[in-house]
Structure 1
Amino acid sequence: MFDYLVVGAGLAGSVMAERLAKTGKKILLVDQRNHVGGNTYDYYDEAGILVHKYGPHIFHTNSREVFEYLSQFTEWRVYEHKVLGSVDGQFVPIPINLNTINTLYGLNLSSDQVEQFLKERAETIVPVRTSADVVLSRVGKELYEKFFKNYTKKQWDMDPSELDASVTARVPIRTNKDDRYFTDTYQVMPLHGYTAMFNKMLAHENIKIMLNTDYKEILDMIPFRNIIYTGPVDSYFDYCYGKLPYRSIEFKHETVNKPVFQPTGTVNYPNEQAFTRITEFKYLTGQQHDKTSVVYEFPRAEGDPYYPIPTAENAEIYRKYQLLAATTPNVYFTGRLATYKYYNMDQVVAQSLTLFKKIQQQVLNAETQVNEKQNIRA
């Protein structure tokens, strides 16, 4: 008898498995794929270069709790990710900052001047409802079309005017020269890779792992008391309210016979190319090698579910599933797919740590009630 069947060996499920195992619970961790680590899984390709199978995963967080928790399972390499955009035949920093504007327009503006430059071009939009509204109200039509419009169309196969404001609200606009993609307190990469971190996290005698396994195939074969579910919430309930749509990505990995392929870790291609970006992994990992490996990302409608599509209609469908999930006994839902929301890695870890504390409190409350009843009888 297992105390918990944990469905999904990505961050959400593995954090839950590790935490619960430490309290003496017996855990069966199941994943459809042939590896742990979920979308953060990395491996050494044929050239001997450490690559991320499912596209680049750069760890960044402002949460000391999350950082210290993961630090139990890995040493870190400090890494500040930088992104360039291929716009008008030149590479310019993304997010848009002072250097972006000066390079793009051949100017020499100061921070105050670039702020005024953007203000003069910004459109007055009230209320701000869509992804297009967010960008147009901050930088105006020209920069919106150069950087955001086509990139968003490629990524989502929808016009930005059809998407929730949250999609582009995630990307800052800066008036200084800070060309880091993230500004979090902790910006690091696992020194030996994500897979090594997961292997250490899950190396506990109370955790048994089954890979290449659909959890539904074993529900009637292996006894357990509770489920931690990190898969698609609509799938758990057999799509009773319809299918929640996702965008997927096709990854094209390529090894190049030279030490460096591009000028920074990731280059975005907002316009005519079929792919959205190219990432070169050696920037992320710090690995030294006379060859280099890159990945091209091609957004797709079909494939593994990566990005929940943020529209009002989809949010309404999810709310129905959310209510079902909240009223399903002995099943706990955590992670991107189970809560139909795009989270950064640190947010997934934080969500599972919070769920673990909630379960611990429930156990404590139940034990207290039992003790109180026994005292009354006595």
Structure 2
Amino acid sequence: MSILIVGAGLSGAVIGRELAEAGHAVTILDARPHIGGNCHTERDPDTGVMVHVYGPHIFHTDDQGVWDYVTRFATFEPYKNRVKSTVGGQVYSLPVNLHTINQFFGTAMRPDEARAFIAERAEDIPEPQNFEEQALAFVGRDLYEAFFKGYTEKQWGCDPRELPASILKRLPLRFNYDDNYFFHKYQGMPRDGYTALIQRILDHPVITVQLNTTYDPATGGDWDHVFWSGPLDGYFNYDLGRLGYRTLNFERFTAQGDYQGCAVMNYGDRDVPHTRITEHKHFSPWEEHEGSVLYRETSAEAGPDDIPYYPIRLVAEKELLTRYIAQAQATPGVTFVGRLGTYRYLDMDVTIREALDTAQTWLDTQKAGTAMPAFVNAPL
């Protein structure tokens, strides 16, 4: 059958490869001049540094199947994400761990002492209703205002009390000296970058990739099925209004030697406009480079011409999302996939898992003679 996939990022590449291996002809379109979506990496010609063009992506997963899948197409080097944060003129370790707590409060507590110490400062909020309440119940006011409040206001452009508690629930709090940001079994970076990984996934004789090419659903073409990984509202030409996103702006600069001594330095103070600085050669610690490429990163509300990064998903957006879901479910012959197509924040491993499951669902429906759903993974 003839399959059209819109978007040459992880979702489109994985679905395309699975269907191609099942014998179907796959055409993948992408409006950008490169594959990889926001995972796109490229060598800086002056320094040789592998640059994460749309901000850093660190692979981490407990999903054995996903790990086996990506390592089939690329060699992964071990990588631990150790984030630092500059707050009040001092540098601390994130996520909040025993070193952070002892340094911040000027103490030398053991794990059990620190646990009791934080429990005394945590506020008694049995069912936190928003980000701030969750943080106060989690770590207390001092740590919240130092490491979470200002950063969150800059990242999301609103009062933390307007954000759901679920955003904070993903962040760990440790009462030991483990400063590895993630806790998954498999963590690493593709040695040759993410674009090379995705290129190998796309390297199949019945996959055709067309870059610098947009797709208009209104004048689509004769395809047996379409997989859309672009913005859900964009498929319908935003006819109900635009779903809200935050975007990222990057101020790129270079330096000689080691500029900040780590890959990611957060800035928690509200009066510092940027949220973090990333130094990209530290994402490839197995390489050595004299020069350095850095991004000073700020967050803003996404306009029509901006790249959407983080779905806002507050009350107004969820109401609009419900209407777009109904519209999508009434549209035959198209399945919406990925973080933009389902308007969800997804880590890379989840994106790949959902793409594999989506491809298998389509193959199963073809065998059974049933209709393919608009969403294999529900947006709400």
Both structures adopt the same fold (TM-score exceeding 0.5)? yes
Q: Which amino acid aligns with 1:232?
A: P
Map of 1:161 onto structure 2: 161
User: Is 1:313 aligned to 2:316, yes or no?
Assistant: yes
Change in CA separation of 1:73 and 1:219 when aligned onto 2, cut-off 3 Å: farther
The number of aligned residues is 364
Map of 2:335 onto structure 1: 332
Map of 2:376 onto structure 1: none
Q: In the TM superposition, what are the counterparts of 1:181-200 in structure 2 within 5 Å?
A: 181-200=181-200
User: Is 1:8 aligned to 2:4, yes or no?
Assistant: no
Map of 2:262 onto structure 1: 264
Are the equivalent residues in 1 in contact too, given 2:15–2:355 (CA < 8 A)?
yes
Map of 1:375 onto structure 2: none
- CA–CA distance in 2 between the matches of 1:101 and 1:168? 18
- CA–CA distance in 2 between the matches of 1:217 and 1:327? 14
Are the equivalent residues in 2 in contact too, given 1:32–1:214 (CA < 8 A)?
yes
Structure 1: gaps of 5 or more residues:
368-378
Map of 2:325 onto structure 1: 322
Map of 2:238 onto structure 1: 239
Compute the displacement of 1:195 (Å): 0.9
In the TM superposition, what whole-angstrom CA distance separates every residue of 1:129-173 from its partner, at most 9, and x where no partner exists?
Answer: 111111111111111111111101101101110011122221111
Structure 2: gaps of 5 or more residues:
371-380
Map of 2:363 onto structure 1: 360
- CA–CA distance in 2 between the matches of 1:125 and 1:217? 48
Compute the displacement of 1:48 (Å): 1.6
Q: Which amino acid aligns with 2:74?
A: T
Are the equivalent residues in 2 in contact too, given 1:77–1:188 (CA < 8 A)?
yes
Map of 2:83 onto structure 1: 83
- CA–CA distance in 1 between the matches of 2:314 and 2:175? 30
Q: Which amino acid aligns with 2:340?
A: L
- CA–CA distance in 2 between the matches of 1:63 and 1:217? 34
SS in 1 for 2:340: helix
Q: Which amino acid aligns with 2:260?
A: Q
Map of 1:301 onto structure 2: 301
Map of 2:134 onto structure 1: 134
In the TM superposition, what whole-angstrom CA distance separates every residue of 1:21-77 from its partner, at most 9, and x where no partner exists?
Answer: 111111110111100000010001132211000000000001001111111110110
SS in 2 for 1:129: coil
- CA–CA distance in 1 between the matches of 2:246 and 2:162? 15
SS in 2 for 1:224: coil
Compute the displacement of 1:263 (Å): 2.5
Are the equivalent residues in 2 in contact too, given 1:163–1:310 (CA < 8 A)?
no
Are the equivalent residues in 1 in contact too, given 2:47–2:289 (CA < 8 A)?
no
In the TM superposition, what whole-angstrom CA distance separates every residue of 1:119-138 from its partner, at most 9, and x where no partner exists?
Answer: 11111123211111111111
Are the equivalent residues in 2 in contact too, given 1:279–1:296 (CA < 8 A)?
yes
- CA–CA distance in 2 between the matches of 1:354 and 1:80? 28
Q: Which amino acid aligns with 2:72?
A: Q
Compute the displacement of 1:268 (Å): 0.5
TM-score (norm 2): 0.93
- CA–CA distance in 2 between the matches of 1:218 and 1:122? 54
User: Is 1:348 aligned to 2:351, yes or no?
Assistant: yes
Are the equivalent residues in 1 in contact too, given 2:266–2:275 (CA < 8 A)?
yes
Q: In the TM superposition, what are the counterparts of 1:171-190 in structure 2 within 5 Å?
A: 171-190=171-190
Aligned-pair identity in percent equals 38
Compute the displacement of 1:176 (Å): 1.3
Change in CA separation of 1:165 and 1:310 when aligned onto 2, cut-off 3 Å: farther
SS in 1 for 2:259: coil
Compute the displacement of 1:218 (Å): 9.3
Map of 1:74 onto structure 2: 74
Compute the displacement of 1:327 (Å): 3.2
Are the equivalent residues in 1 in contact too, given 2:47–2:290 (CA < 8 A)?
no
- CA–CA distance in 2 between the matches of 1:118 and 1:109? 11
Q: Which amino acid aligns with 2:73?
A: F
Larger Rg: 1
RMSD: 1.5
In the TM superposition, what whole-angstrom CA distance separates every residue of 1:69-89 from its partner, at most 9, and x where no partner exists?
Answer: 111110110101100111121
- CA–CA distance in 1 between the matches of 2:116 and 2:313? 32
TM-score (norm 1): 0.93
In the TM superposition, what whole-angstrom CA distance separates every residue of 1:245-296 from its partner, at most 9, and x where no partner exists?
Answer: 10000112222112x1113221100112111011111221122111121111
